Amino acid sequence: MDFKLTEEHIMIRDAARDFAKSELLPGVIERDEKQEFPKEQVKKMGELGFLGMMASPEYGGGGMDTVSYVLAMEEISKIDASASVVMSVNNSLVCWGLETFGSAEQKQKYLSKLTTGEALGAFCLSEPEAGSDATSQKTTAIDQGDHYILNGTKNWITNGNSADFYIVIAQTHREKKHKGINAFIVEKDWEGFEVGPKENKLGIRGSDTHSLNFNDVKVPKENRIGEDGFGFKFAMKTLSGGRIGIAAQALGIASGAYELAKNYSKQRKAFGTEICNHQAIAFKLADMHTNIEAARHLVMKAAWDKDNGNNYDLSGAMAKLFASKTAMEVTVEAVQVHGGNGYVKEYHVERLMRDAKITQIYEGTSEIQKIVISRSVLHD
Ligand SMILES: Cc1cc2nc3c(=O)[nH]c(=O)nc-3n(C[C@H](O)[C@H](O)[C@H](O)COP(=O)(O)OP(=O)(O)OC[C@H]3O[C@@H](n4cnc5c(N)ncnc54)[C@H](O)[C@@H]3O)c2cc1C
């Protein structure tokens, strides 16, 4: 067993770290406050290859492994989780889903633009009445011979307004339940497609989350991903890998907050000494560090499983469950270590605490991860 990163991994991690410090840190507080999408920064992420890291070079991707991707996700998330969710959706849901299950024509037409940042993608599964219970899709795609007619509403869609291409899940054969669901690629400027208002969120406020409306949108048949009825399987397979990215996001949020708390505790004095010399604070740091290391091992194991062709449903779910819990606990403690300063924006930890919460909700809530994990261990 070798816990050492390769030179290439270290290079990628350091490049992401440098980018986050130089390009994302300036303005991160203001973007959070104004709910401003990091447009310029995302463009640069595309130019640097952070938006299509695992996609094959044939389609403009970096051809990197999942370990590289999670290392970069962690570094970006330490500084700006709004930017890292854009990265996560584009890499693990949109690019991966298209490359793995899309047709040659779809990859040529869409993937090569998505990997470079020329275009941005969104993944549209959730609906007002279909979140955890994703089989209850109300959006319909009616087969009209050479095209489908799409009608319905999607909720909470990341990159909702910023995306150019949308992967949309919809019900084609209601009687077949989840086996009647399809996934389609929809372009933003198609007639009948409308972006709803932006959500005013607790955290990851720089990312744009919108509802989307589809009113008789004509989708050519060649834009269906996979065989007729493959859509639900497509969504579940894609989300299974996506969870590794969100676990890495949670890990990054936790380690960002921990580093801030550790540094602060070495500078802030109370009762004649630096606060890290009070055991209550030192023990908090010990717990934070231990849990972050445990989360890192779970995240890396899931990434390694994916890279080695192993099933990663279980390891990905465990990584997301534990890393997101750790992100919540560590960020709350990081605020505590900062005392009153933790409660104001300049010190960053209150934002990280708000950002942490979403990692327990999207791409499968913690309760859903426990369902995945318990089913897997009970039927082993
Ligand atoms: C900021 C943000 C960004 C998002 N981005 C996207 C996106 O890009 N694309 C997309 O498709 N979706 C996106 N989502 C939606 C997200 O994936 C859903 O919110 C999530 O899956 C939960 O669904 P729900 O909100 O309908 O909650 P519900 O399913 O209504 O769940 C409510 C509560 O009940 C629990 N629960 C539900 N069923 C069970 C069960 N069987 N057993 C135990 N507990 C259960 C849940 O865990 C939760 O605690 C986003 C959401 C947010 C807030």
Ligand 1 centroid vs 214 CA: distance in angstroms?
21
Tokens linked to 298: 């779970």
**pLDDT(2) > 90:** no
Q: Which helix (H) or strand (E) holds 368?
A: helix 366-378
Residue 206 has a pLDDT of: 98
In 172-274, beta strands by DSSP E: 181-187, 193-198, 209-220, 269-270, 273-274
Question: What is the structure's pLDDT at 258?
Answer: 99
- DSSP reduced 3-state for 230: coil
Nearest-atom number in ligand 1 for the CA of 129 is 26
> How sure is the predictor about 41, in pLDDT bands with cuts at 50, 70 and 90?
very high
Residue to substitute in 362, 363, 370 for testing ligand 1 pocket (most ligand atoms within 8 angstroms of CB): 362
Give 224's DSSP letter. B
- Render pLDDT for 95-116 as a digit per residue (tens, 0 to 9): 999 999 999 999 999 999 999 9
pLDDT above 90 (res 83):
yes
Specify the higher pLDDT residue, 73 or 3.
73
Beta bridge partners of 273: 270
Q: Is the CB of 93 under 6 A from ligand 1?
A: no
Q: What is the mean pLDDT of the segment spanning 146-172?
A: 98
Query: What would the mean pLDDT of 159-177 be, rounded to a whole number?
Result: 97
pTM of the prediction?
0.98
As given in the structure block, the two tokens for residue 79 are 């500084």
- CA–CA separation, 325 vs 320, rounded Å? 8
Q: Which of 217, 135, 138 is nearest to 184 (CA)?
A: 217
- What are the structure tokens assigned to 46, written together? 């595309």
Is residue 116 within 8 A of residue 187, CB to CB? The reply is: no
Centre of ligand 1 to C-alpha 131, Å, is 4
Q: What is the pLDDT of residues 335-368, one digit of tens each?
A: 999 999 999 999 999 999 999 999 999 999 999 9
Pick from 365, 369, 375 the residue to mutate for probing ligand 1's pocket: most ligand atoms within 8 Å of its CB.
365
Is residue 68 very low, low, confident or very high in pLDDT (cuts 50, 70, 90)? very high
User: Is it the case that residue 40 has pLDDT exceeding 90?
Assistant: yes
Tens-place pLDDT, residues 119-146: 999 999 999 999 999 999 999 999 999 9
What DSSP string runs through 182-200? EEEEEETTSTTEEEEEEP-
Q: How confident is the model over 34-49, as a mean pLDDT?
A: 97
Is pLDDT at 380 greater than 80 in this prediction?
no
Cβ distance 211 to 197 under 8 Å?
A: yes
Q: What is the pLDDT of residues 240-282, one digit of tens each?
A: 999 999 999 999 999 999 999 999 999 999 999 999 999 999 9
361 lines ligand 1 (CB under 6 A): yes
Tell me what pLDDT residue 65 has.
98
Mean pLDDT of 202-225: 98
- The rounded Å distance from CA 359 to ligand 1 centre is 11
> What is the rounded average pLDDT for all residues in the chain?
97
* Residue at 54: amino acid letter: M
Structure confidence at residue 1 as a pLDDT band (50, 70, 90): confident
Q: Residue 199 Cα, ligand 1 centroid: separation in angstroms?
A: 15
Q: Is the pLDDT of residue 327 over 90?
A: yes
Active site residues: 363
Amino acid at residue number 274:
E
Average pLDDT score over residue span 2-17 = 96
